[in-house]
A and B are shown apart, each in its own frame.
Chain A
Amino acid sequence: MSDLLLARVIAAAIRSVPGVSDVSTRIFTGAATYGPGGAVRGIAIRRIAAALDLDVHLIARYTATATLPDVAAAVRRSIQQAVAGVDAGPVRRIDVMIDDLDMG
C-alpha cells in the first residue's frame, strides 16, 4: 500500500473519533504525505525498519466531558485498528499533535 493511500486511511480513522473535529491541514504544521495524484496534509508517515512512525495533527472538538488525553488515546486506538485493517505493518510510534480546539 502506498503512503498516500495509507495516509487517507489514517485520516479517515482520525475523523471517526467522536472528540475530533477534523485533521489539521494547516500548511505550517509541515506534516503531509505526498504521492501520485494528491497529498494528505496533517499526517506524516515514516517507515523505519518496516515499522511506521506517524505524526498526526488534528483539531479536537470541545466537549464538556472528554479530555484531550482521552481524545488522543482514542485517536491512537483508531489509527492502530485502521493500520492493522489494511495490513500496513506494525505501528511503532504515533505522535498526536492537537493544533486547535473547535469550540463549536
Chain B
Amino acid sequence: MNIFNRVLLIVLALALLVTAVAVMVVTLGWLDPAQAAPSGWFRERLDAFAGLRAADQRWTVVVCLALVLLGLLLVYVEVRPPPPGERRLLLKEDGLGRVTVAREGVQQLARREAGRVSGVMEVRAKVQNQHDGRRILGRLSVDPDVDLPALSQEVQERIKDAVEHHLGRPVTTVKLDTQLAPLDSRRVR
C-alpha cells in the first residue's frame, strides 16, 4: 500500500473511532450531544442516539464497540513499523555494531543483473532470508526467440554471483518463473 493510501486509511480509521466513541458515550448518557460534538451538524446526528430505548441502546453500544475495535485494529496495522527483518537484511554483526542493507536494494541489484541478459524483457525479484543464506524468487518475461533453458540458467547464475559478491553472503536458491507474455501486476510469491 502506498503512503497516500496508508495516510487516508489512518484518517478514516481515526474518524471511525471518534464517531463510534461519541455515539457510544451519548447513547450511554455519559455526555450530552452538545458536550460530545464540536459542531452543530455532528450534534444533530448525535441527538438521535440520546434517550434510546434499552434494547436499542444495547445494540447501539455493541455496534459501537465493534467499530471502535475495528478502528483500533486498522490504526494499529497501519502505524506499526514492520519488523526489521522484513525490510532489511543483516550483512554483518560484530563488536562495533550491525551492517544491514535494505531488501529493496538487493532486489534492485537482482533485477539489474537479470535485465542485463540479452532476451530478458521484464524482471521482478524478491529476496527472502533463510537461516543458511538468501533465497531469490523471480519472474521473467523473455523474448520468444531465445533459448529458454540457456537463458534461465544464465540469469540464475548472474543473479547468484552478483548478490553473493555484493553481500558477501551465500545465496542458497534462485528460483525463476519464465514466461513469454509481459508480466502482469501480480507480485512474486
Contact = CB atoms under 8 A, between A and B. Distances in A.
B60 interface: no
Contacts of B112: 62, 103
Contacts, number: 62
Contact of A93 (B88, B96, B108): B96
Contacts of B101: 60, 68, 97-98
Contacts of A67: 165-168
A20 B78 CA distance: 33
Question: In the complex, which range does the number of interface residues on chain A fall in?
Answer: 10 to 19
Contacts of A101: 105-106, 108-109
Interface residues of B, number: 20
Nearest to A103: B112
Interface in B125-180: 165-168
Given A69-B91, A69-B92, A101-B105, A96 B97 contact: yes
A17 to B, nearest CB: 13
A100 B97 contact: no
Interface in A44-92: 60, 62, 67-70, 72, 76, 91
B100 A100 contact: no
Contacts of A69: 91-92, 99, 167-168
B120 to A, nearest CB: 16
Contact of A100 (B96, B98, B105, B166): B105
B62 interface: no
Contact of B96 (A60, A68, A76, A98): A76
A9 interface: no
Contacts of B44: none
A103 B166 CA distance: 13
Contacts of A95: 97-100
Given A67-B168, A68-B167, A69-B92, A96 B100 contact: yes
A5 interface: no
20 contacts: A62-B166, A67-B168, A68-B99, A68-B101, A69-B91, A69-B92, A72-B92, A72-B99, A76-B96, A94-B96, A94-B97, A95-B97, A95-B100, A96-B97, A96-B98, A96-B99, A96-B100, A98-B99, A99-B102, A99-B105
Which are the 4 A-B pairs with shortest beta-carbon distances? A72-B99, A95-B97, A98-B101, A93-B97
Interface of B: 88, 91-92, 96-102, 104-106, 108-109, 112, 165-168
